[in-house]
Amino acid sequence: MAKRCEGIPMLSFVIFLCISASITALSWRSLARPRSHGFWRFFAFELLAGLILLNAPVWFARPLSLVQLASWVIWGCFHRSGNRRIPVAARRWEAIADSGQCY
């Protein structure tokens, strides 16, 4: 098992640097304004990229285990439901936010 994971940490680090550079390039203007939502979104995407890269080697280690099959079934149920399960209050809030009334 140790031989299988030898190069993964370095590869993950290089991938993280590439993703981080891309996110930084896309968020460059918002990083200068800490009060904008883009400033905090930058950190959210950085953390998500880190979590995905840390967990990716383990996700498919045992693809047919009971826990993995259950997670795919649950993911499929929520993914298939689409936008129908969003509560009415959330849809109203999106309409208000899109109209610009909340500013």
pLDDT band at 103 (very low <50, low <70, confident <90, very high): very low
Radius of gyration of the chain (CA): 19
Interval 78-95 mean pLDDT: 59
Count Cα neighbours of 65 within 13 Å in the Cβ-side half-sphere.
Answer: 9
47-74: average pLDDT: 86
Give the helix ranges, DSSP H, for the chain: 8-26, 28-31, 37-59, 66-81, 88-99
Sign of CA dihedral 77, 83, 85, 90: positive
pTM above 0.75, yes or no: no
Give the pLDDT confidence of 5-50 residue by residue, as tens digits.
566 688 888 999 999 999 999 988 888 888 888 888 999 999 999 9
d(CA 56, CA 46): 15
